[in-house]
Amino acid sequence: MAKTYVSATINGESAEFLCETQQTLLDVLRDVIGLTGSKEGCGSGDCGACSVIVDDRLVCSCLMLGVEAEGKSITTIEGIANGDTLHPIQQKFLEYAALQCGFCTPGLIVATKALLDENPNPTETEARYWLAGNLCRCTGYDKVIRAVMDVAADMRGEKVA
Amino acid sequence: MDVELRPKLVGQRIKRFEDPRLLTGAGRFVDDITPPGTLFLAFRRSDHPHALIKSIDLGSALSVPGVVAVFDATDIENDLRPAIPSSRMKGYYATPLWPLARGKVRYVGEPVLAVAAESRYAAEDALDRIQIDYESLPFANRAEDAVADGAPLLHEDAGTNAIVVRSFGRGDVDAAFAGAAFSVGATFRLRRKTPVAIENRCYLAEWDKRRSALTLHSSTNIPGVIRDVLSDCLDLPGNRLRVIAPDVGGSFGSKGSLYPEEMLVAVLARKLQRPIKWTSDRLEDLASTSQAFDEIMQAELAVDADGRLLGLKADVIGDIGAYSIYPWTGALEPVQVVSFMPGPYRLENYQARVRGVVTPKAPTGPYRGVGRPAATFAMERLIDMAARRLGLDPAEMRRRNLITAPEFPYRSASGIIWDRSGFQECLQAACDKANYDSLLRKRDEARAEGRWVGIGFASYAELTGIGSRISVAPGMPINTGTETATIRIDATGSITAAFGIASHGQGLETTLAQVIADELGCRIEDIEIQHGDSALVPMGTGTYASRSAVLGGGAATLSARVVRTKVLKAAAHLMELPVDKLVAHNGIVSAPGSNQSITFKEIANAVYAQMGRIPHNAREDLVASETYDPYFGTATSATHLAMIEIDTGTYGVTVTRYVVAEDCGRVINPMIVDGQVQGAVAQGIGVALLEEVIHDDDGQIVTASLADYLIPIAGTMPPIGIVHVETVLPPTQGGFRGMGEGGTIGAPAAIANAVSDALSAMGIEITTLPITPDRIFQLITQQGSLPQ
């Protein structure tokens, strides 16, 4: 089958790739570009493990086609840290052990980044419902929510008591 | 500093070593591995619950670009032997496990044929072109029908659908009931659920032609068990068959059994001599991954006028699905329901019968808590029903019946030996932490306003860290009672510790390193923990049944002590001091009271790399491989306390307060234990309120997506308060008890009791889980007490 040429920005760098028209963005990221950090948990937009940021919008990459990435800027979990330095969100998840098996974690980190980009000062309820699209089966969300609230305060320059 | 006073790592909130890779997308799960030349499988699964396969027409499947081959059962008949989930249990029938249905299908979702192609897309396109003709057979969809005489048989060779039957009895139950002030009873129903690990199952097999050897990467938590069984099935010795579980994205039991797809990728990698991979999608997961619970429990409890328990009767039917699962067997869940039903209570007279019944549904298997969530649900409901009858506070009812400190060790009415654990202490701690009296006031104030608010308890005990005295699954002939740790210090001074366990979220790379650093006296950052690979130790069964901290930690302790002795002996030669003057701490051997010291790195270099530094006849490699067997298990106990509110308009239940007080012995890492408890409670709340696999009367699965099968989300989960109660350390090595499952054991019962409390004015007792808004509506309208 003829492949389609796509030009996009991925994690701040220009990227060109060929993909089949029916390939999802998630499959393109994982199988064509080799960025396996985004995960498939359901393939139907219910679990959020494949979350990426596309032009400032939080997107389930399993619900978007690779060809739709043309001209777009995409941030995946691999683009969150600054080299070897963890992003403050990742650092806070580490401090709280806000992950267990780690499979949903890339999606949660990306979704938290999108939350705090849009709303640096969420209430706990806002954080809980923003992350309601990211299913985690290990943590019960308790440590996740505490890490998110704490890092939000840090990033605003406040100190949580 | 005195050696004994030096800070220990066990007990500390050490940040997890697993996390940097997992937080950055650098984790390596099976589906992240794709060797060049990999072929991808897609399965055509049965859409009939019970039918004969009359014919298969491949149509134009093979002409889809990229399709390499299509296989049904007849194509691989001579490539393997089936796996037999055998048991010592009398009267049990072991259903053989084959990769693909042979002539007959027994549940919707059973694999019938597989397409191998250059991409999953091509394989799935080919599936659509294949026609399978079935002849429908009669079937009994419900366990209560399947167990009846004359029901259509799923496995004709078994001669019955009740492939597991067992009875227990102790004391004189009839006399106990005759002498009781009253009895309470009900038929309890814990509906079928499915584990839903967020990573779907995935298998990748590679055949090494040069060595005639197979490597299977599997999202499993029992790589050693899989190696051993596939060795038989494929007739390959263990040194040419390696099963690797890399990062595994949760299991909760679902990845703790042998699967047909797992067998098939192994068979086809050898047959086609190409890497073969299969990744489940969520629909396949919900249709075919091992499911859980599904019990009908008729139970009755006899009580005296003071609320003391006199006798218990139980008759349980467990719907085990279409096959007895390997290796645990279909006895695993239902038999443990009756084994654990007497709970943590003083109870001398017990009589129980259990039948495990095959039905045309996905096989049930291990799921977090195994048997105990159901047993605890029934027993804790009976306790509350009896307390209500007596007008006794549910906490006081439990206080009167929980086994007290002087009574340990206590032999339960089903024969389980409880070692000393904080049965009473956890009840008290939960009440204190939640401020129970003030919660009662808040509840009563809310009720005065017309709100439906309730409080519920659940107390339970479970056996964890089970040794070789008994098998984890009743009658199962596999040794689940030992684990081995191989620890070695290499010539560079770095330390590798290899285990047969397989961490998949438990943080064992961190907790086992904490144990070893303390015991060996090394730096924790110098340790690499290896696990999840059948090649690491001669035999290891993996991580399940709340065993890895106890057994893995115990083996780590024993091996670390042997290595430490060798390190100190080598240091004694190098420092020219008596060995009993030396201590190891933080990677340095020193002689207290002197300023002499030597690092582990220097010692390792002297032992391995420098000739003559240590007398040749005294030189020993700095390695040890010890196996730990706790022989018995140890009791982990807890009390859960939940407060809930029911929306009087929608009948939705919100959990407003949740407290767990548990005794898991010495806590290795409180942050990790908290995570295990909170995550398990969340799953228990799912069991209580949301999760239900539904089959319609045609045997079709209705809950086939995560929009239909609901699991807890961040928006509706309460914060979970935890108290770690440490009474007396158990006799396990290190004093550890297992704490991987307990949250899921207590939560369904606690929520059920809280909802029953909220609806007590209407005389409603919850007997079926999950408690959906629809079920509450039905209960209220049946009572005729629907408020205006």
Q: Check which CATH number belongs to the domain holding A34 and give it.
A: 3.10.20.30
Instruction: Please check whether residues A54 and A93 belong to one and the same domain.
Output: no
% of residues, chain B, pLDDT over 70: 99
Is residue A143 a part of any domain in this protein?
Answer: yes
Q: Do A40 and B31 make contact, defined as CB atoms within 8 angstroms?
A: yes
Secondary structure (DSSP) of B382-404: HHHHHHHHHT--HHHHHHHHBPP
Neighbours of A160 (CB within 10 A): 11
Q: Do A97 and B15 make contact, defined as CB atoms within 8 angstroms?
A: yes
* Chain B residues within 8 A of A135 when measuring between CB atoms: 198, 706, 711, 713
- In this structure, are residues A80 and A90 in contact, taking their beta carbons and an 8 Å threshold? yes
Instruction: Please check whether residues A11 and A75 belong to one and the same domain.
Output: yes
Question: What is the domain-level CATH number for residue A147?
Answer: 1.10.150.120
Instruction: Please check whether residues A74 and A102 belong to one and the same domain.
Output: no
Nearest Cα of chain B lies from the Cα of A108 at a distance, in angstroms, of 9
| Helix H or strand E encompassing B139 | none
Instruction: Please check whether residues A93 and A149 belong to one and the same domain.
Output: yes
Task: Give residue B757's pLDDT band: very low, low, confident or very high (50, 70, 90).
Answer: very high
Is residue A70 a part of any domain in this protein?
Answer: yes
Instruction: Please check whether residues A9 and A69 belong to one and the same domain.
Output: yes
pLDDT score of B782: 87
Is the pLDDT score of B676 beyond 90? yes
Last residue of a domain, one of A38, A57, A79: A79
C-alpha B24/C-alpha B298 separation (Å) is 50
Choose among B247, B681, B716: nearest Cβ to A102.
B247
Number of domains in chain A: 2
What is the side-by-side strand order in the sheet with B721-724?
Answer: B452-464, B634-646, B653-663, B721-724
pLDDT score of B1: 45
- B 363-382: CB under 8 A from A: none
Is residue A58 a part of any domain in this protein?
Answer: yes
In the block, residue with structure tokens 């064992």: B508
Is residue A144 a part of any domain in this protein?
Answer: yes
Is residue A54 a part of any domain in this protein?
Answer: yes
Instruction: Please check whether residues A98 and A60 belong to one and the same domain.
Output: no
Is the pLDDT score of B787 beyond 60? no
pLDDT score of A1: 62
Is the pLDDT score of B278 beyond 70? yes
Listed in sequence order, the residues at least 6 apart from B507 whose beta carbon sits closer than 8 Å to its beta carbon are A97, A100, B16, B18, B669, B672, B675
Predicted TM-score (pTM) of this structure: 0.97
Instruction: Please check whether residues A95 and A136 belong to one and the same domain.
Output: yes
Is residue A138 a part of any domain in this protein?
Answer: yes
Last residue of a domain, one of A79, A96, A131: A79
Is residue A161 a part of any domain in this protein?
Answer: no
Average pLDDT value for residue range B677-694: 98
pLDDT score of A2: 85
Instruction: Please check whether residues A75 and A104 belong to one and the same domain.
Output: no
C-alpha A132/C-alpha B763 separation (Å) is 35
- In this structure, are residues A94 and B16 in contact, taking their beta carbons and an 8 Å threshold? yes
Domain limits for position A149: 88-155
Instruction: Please check whether residues A15 and A43 belong to one and the same domain.
Output: yes
Last residue of a domain, one of A31, A46, A79: A79
Task: Give residue B474's pLDDT band: very low, low, confident or very high (50, 70, 90).
Answer: confident
Choose among B15, B20, B711: nearest Cβ to A137.
B711
- B 197-236: CB under 8 A from A: 197-200
Is residue A125 a part of any domain in this protein?
Answer: yes
- B 584-643: CB under 8 A from A: none
Q: Do B29 and A143 make contact, defined as CB atoms within 8 angstroms?
A: no
pLDDT score of B504: 95
Instruction: Please check whether residues A103 and A61 belong to one and the same domain.
Output: no
Instruction: Please check whether residues A41 and A71 belong to one and the same domain.
Output: yes
Q: Is B712 an 8 Å CB contact of chain A?
A: yes
Average pLDDT, chain B: 96
Assess: ipTM above 0.95.
Answer: yes
Average pLDDT value for residue range B476-504: 95
Instruction: Please check whether residues A101 and A73 belong to one and the same domain.
Output: no
Task: Give residue B788's pLDDT band: very low, low, confident or very high (50, 70, 90).
Answer: very low
Q: CB-side exposure of A6: number of CA atoms within 13 Å?
A: 28
Nearest Cα of chain A lies from the Cα of B16 at a distance, in angstroms, of 7
